[in-house]
Structure 1
Amino acid sequence: MKSKFIDAVKQSVKSLFYPQKIDETKISKHAIEIIKVLKKNNYEAYIVGGAIRDILMNKNPKDFDIATDATPEQIKLLFRRSRIIGRRFKLVHVMDGRGIIEVSTFRAKPHNKEVMRNGVTKDNEYGTLKEDAERRDFTCNSIYYNPLTKVLIDLYGGVKDIRAKKLAMIGDPKKRFDEDSVRILRAIRFSAKLNLTIDKNILEAIESKKSQLQSIPYSRLFDEIMKLFLTGHALQSFDLFKRFNLSKYYFPSFESKNPKAQSFLLKGLSDTDDRVRANKSVNPGFLLAVFLWSDVKKLWEERNKTSINTTVALHDAIDLVLAKQSKVFPIQKRVGVTMSEIWRLQPRFSKLHPKRIYRLLGHPRFRAAYDFMLLRDHHEEIEFGLGKWWTNFIVADEHTKSILVKNIKLK
């Protein structure tokens, strides 16, 4: 894209082109170097989307995306450590050490619509910066910045909306949701993550279009829903999830009126947010185990009355809950296995016999199951002192461990 095109765009769309004070200490040096290389080879290139949005909101961006008029093949020729990826739309990952910068070619709306099996319209069609900006979903994600010229390009008032703390959509929300219903969940996620008020036009469109989410393949929905709860704003997402009555589609257990069940769920969400803020790993299997625990616990208590022992009762309860959940919103098999193991290990924390203690300690899911047990301990679901004993045992050296095992006596 040459300077003549920029001038034409200025005149035709009355866009906002102006120098903008950006805290460049928050911009990836790797991203700047990529833009320098593209510019040196006579290509236009801009940092776009979430990174610029976050900087304007005084946040520290984690990911940097670059948009350019160079094609994926042209980009790859310029960077030795790069690879072309993507089926829906080809883009390039440019690597530097362990970091990856995503570089994409300006996109345009496809002239011939081709819907893939996952329900998404294939749009592997290149365009201009103006067309690229138009096809992005929210105004706050359609801001372009060139760190070399210090010029910011904002065609749809994203800066103004960020300052007003408003989440607004480019174009008619109903039409944009028809193009891709997953944008409904993205609207909820960005509102929760960025503390932005959802524009009333989007609110109306969500209410009228949310049933379309049921036609989206579960695999794609699962990933998007997990982003709601595993990226540091789980509590806010939970509130919005219930506000838009999405629980009935995915997790009916959210609607439980049991105060203890609600408290357990909210504590699990809060702990997950704390882990994200502390840059600790988060596990979707653990969080889903929290989501469905009230159902498992209720059935476990019922089965305990007729089963030969509590472990068998728990296993029956788990199988029934997972079977029921699969009819509402199936959970990926690998995640379901993690959930099941976390639950099945719970009775073993009460069996404080030397061999069983060390066997449990060596289990691959021990840490997740231990964290889950502490959550239960916080809600007085297990024997008093059990959580403290295990915590002391885990941090102890081998000599102290042996003493703790020999002197097992819960208070």
Structure 2
Amino acid sequence: MLQKSFKRLQQSLKVTPDIYNDKRFGVNKKNISINALNVISKLQKSGFQAFIVGGGIRDLIKGLHPKDFDIVTNCEPEEIRKIFKNSRIIGRRFKLVHIAFSDEIIETTTFRSGKDEDADSIEVNDKGRILRDNKWGTQEEDVFRRDLTINSIYYDPISSEVIDYTGGIKDLKDKKISFIGKAGDRILEDPVRIIRAIRFAAKLNFKIDTEITKAIQIHRQHLLDMPPARLYEEVIKLFLSGHAENSYLLLKKHGVFNVLFPHLQNSYDEYEDFYIEAFRETDKRYISGKTLNVGFLYAILLWPKVAVESDIANHINFKKFYRTIASVMRKQQMITSVPRKFTSFIKDVWMNQIRFSRIGKKSISFTQSLRFRAAYDFLLIRKSIEPKLSQSVNWWTEFKTANYDKKIRLLNTRKKNRNAKR
């Protein structure tokens, strides 16, 4: 099935590429990593083809400064390892080589093939899903193994040639996300391509091709067949790369957010503003270069279910709150696994929400605790849909920055006011 799919692709798409000089797109070679240039140069001097492919050339054409550069070559991994002593072969599903420099790692892959011979190198399951793919081929074959047209453009910075087999240049110009070949077939090969299409549409502010949107509606549930660890990695890319708000809106539009977080669907409308506020703040932190915490992201994503089931907005039942937290975390682990190192952080952020409503002598030590800042930031986001938290937020904002004597005065005043209301 897989080989037939690639054969259809090769028949439907032109084998002769469009070749452009990089001057046509105003490519600035000063924006290319010197390490990437050196790798390409060394491979070519060793008698191999070597190109920049994917996001590196895509961003260069768009006039951007790429953050990293992926290289593709007809040199096989073991041979790359011999040429570059500072490299190592990684991966089983897709074997590739990391060439390490002091300031970056250049990821280098070998052209892959879709030919029938030596099919043992390409492992698929009974649904046609690619499990392992280490059959080497030519550039003409390799292009049909890629998913998005805009990420399937090759660039040789030595000869200054930009090579396009799939209409990726046109899709870049039209600001469109398209798959190479039939969208349904490509998604069945690897359902994570659904998330990739949405992620790049969110990142680049491109529209998604109609054929893809229709295929997503039909095949989105196949995402649940993917390993939870792999979906976890995709969630991180969606929400911690500077386009969290756009990613959320597109995931929701195409019904994919419900698939990744199915137990939240009854809480969406009520917590829409909560998500928007949280993701906007996340994007602001990314743009300003501040650290982003995976645990905080998941605390945001899963909070609506915890809040609704525990009814924390109206009253606090500790046993119910604990049970809800355990249940929500357990269910999510089955879809997008959350590493254990983050689960305690998530639970602390949630549990500390209760401490904001229980002001007393321990409030001073609370402000000095390890997770206070994260819990406070979380409280600020909650305020976006819980106006009654405004008074509490104002009090804690003043309290956390006050010196010890002022903290005592604030606590005494709070106690007097509470007693006066009795």
Asked if TM exceeds 0.5, the reply is: yes
Note the C-alpha offset of 1:383.
5.0
> Which residue of 1 is the match for residue 420 of structure 2?
none
> Which residue of 2 is the match for residue 107 of structure 1?
112
Aligned length: 392
Whether 1:374 and 2:380 are equivalent positions in the alignment is yes
> Which residue of 2 is the match for residue 322 of structure 1?
329
Query: What letter is aligned with 1:375?
Result: I
Contact 2:153 2:165 in 1 (8 A): yes
Query: What letter is aligned with 1:17?
Result: I
> Which residue of 1 is the match for residue 95 of structure 2?
90
Matches within 5 A, 1:168-247: 168-247=178-257
Note the C-alpha offset of 1:332.
4.5
Q: State the alpha-carbon separation in 1 of the partners of residues 102 and 388 from structure 2.
A: 46
Contact 1:17 1:153 in 2 (8 A): yes
Note the C-alpha offset of 1:251.
1.9
- Deviations 1:376-411 (CA, angstroms, capped at 9, x unpaired): 2444466545435555566x5xxx632332332578
Note the C-alpha offset of 1:122.
0.9
> Which residue of 2 is the match for residue 8 of structure 1?
none
> Which residue of 2 is the match for residue 160 of structure 1?
170
Q: State the alpha-carbon separation in 1 of the partners of residues 337 and 39 from structure 2.
A: 41
313-322 vs 199-208, greater mean Cα deviation: 313-322
CA RMSD in angstroms comes to 2.9
Contact 1:110 1:123 in 2 (8 A): no
Q: Which of residues 63, 77, 96 in structure 1 aligns to 2:82? A: 77
Q: State the alpha-carbon separation in 1 of the partners of residues 194 and 176 from structure 2.
A: 16
Unaligned runs of 5+ residues in structure 2 are 1-13, 415-422
Partner SS, residue 13 of structure 1: coil
Q: 1:330 to 1:38 in 2, by over 3 A?
A: closer
Whether 1:47 and 2:52 are equivalent positions in the alignment is yes
> Which residue of 1 is the match for residue 29 of structure 2?
24
Note the C-alpha offset of 1:16.
1.0
Note the C-alpha offset of 1:355.
5.1
Partner SS, residue 103 of structure 1: strand
Note the C-alpha offset of 1:100.
0.9
Query: What letter is aligned with 2:112?
Result: R
Q: State the alpha-carbon separation in 2 of the partners of residues 311 and 26 from structure 1.
A: 55
Q: 1:35 to 1:17 in 2, by over 3 A?
A: same
Q: 1:232 to 1:70 in 2, by over 3 A?
A: same
Q: State the alpha-carbon separation in 2 of the partners of residues 192 and 55 from structure 1.
A: 19
What TM-score, normalized by structure 1, do the two folds share?
0.85
Q: State the alpha-carbon separation in 1 of the partners of residues 126 and 235 from structure 2.
A: 19
Q: 1:178 to 1:147 in 2, by over 3 A?
A: same
Matches within 5 A, 1:333-348: 333-348=340-355
Greater RCO (Cα-Cα under 8 Å, separation 6 or more) = 2
Query: What letter is aligned with 2:380?
Result: L
- Deviations 1:112-152 (CA, angstroms, capped at 9, x unpaired): 24237996431111111111112111110011111122111
Note the C-alpha offset of 1:257.
6.4
- Deviations 1:89-128 (CA, angstroms, capped at 9, x unpaired): 2211112213111011112126424237996431111111
> Which residue of 2 is the match for residue 4 of structure 1?
none
Note the C-alpha offset of 1:265.
1.5
Note the C-alpha offset of 1:165.
0.8
Note the C-alpha offset of 1:47.
0.9
Unaligned runs of 5+ residues in structure 1 are 1-11
Note the C-alpha offset of 1:256.
4.4
Contact 2:286 2:292 in 1 (8 A): yes
> Which residue of 2 is the match for residue 144 of structure 1?
154
Q: State the alpha-carbon separation in 2 of the partners of residues 270 and 98 from structure 1.
A: 30
State the percentage of identical aligned residues. 39
Q: Which of residues 293, 296, 299 in structure 2 aligns to 1:289? A: 299
Q: 1:80 to 1:166 in 2, by over 3 A?
A: same
